[in-house]
Amino acid sequence: MATVDSSSTLAQVQAAFDDACSWVEDQDIAKARALVTAGTILLRRVPSTATKGSNALSSSNNEISKAIAEARIYIQAHDAAQLPGPLVTQPSFMTSRGLA
């Protein structure tokens, strides 16, 4: 289950993202998944531009997007649950001997 969801506050999502950033050092798939979840929520919740009167503040979400992409690549490459079929194929000579 995800550490954050739609009912989480912005502070909780930011903390979950920060906590999951260590997935690289830990080589932890669960943390990589948590980073993807928290990062995706952050991208949706934090505007890239905010304006109040004549003052404007803009931020780049490129770092969050890059972190999400790297985590997804790691998950796809290292998650055994996503690999098709058995990891080891045992040869069978049953069909060649007419036993199957």
User: Looking at residue 90, what is its pLDDT?
Assistant: 62
In whole angstroms, what is the distance from residue 45 CA to residue 43 CA? 6
**The model's pTM:** 0.71
pLDDT digits (tens, 9 = 90+) for 7-59: 999 999 999 999 999 999 999 999 999 999 999 999 999 888 878 888 887 77
- Going from N- to C-terminal start, the domains of the chain cover 10-82
CB 64 within 8 A of CB 57: no
In whole angstroms, what is the distance from residue 37 CA to residue 13 CA? 9
92: left (phi over 0), alpha (psi -120 to 50) or beta: beta
Three-state DSSP state, 58? strand
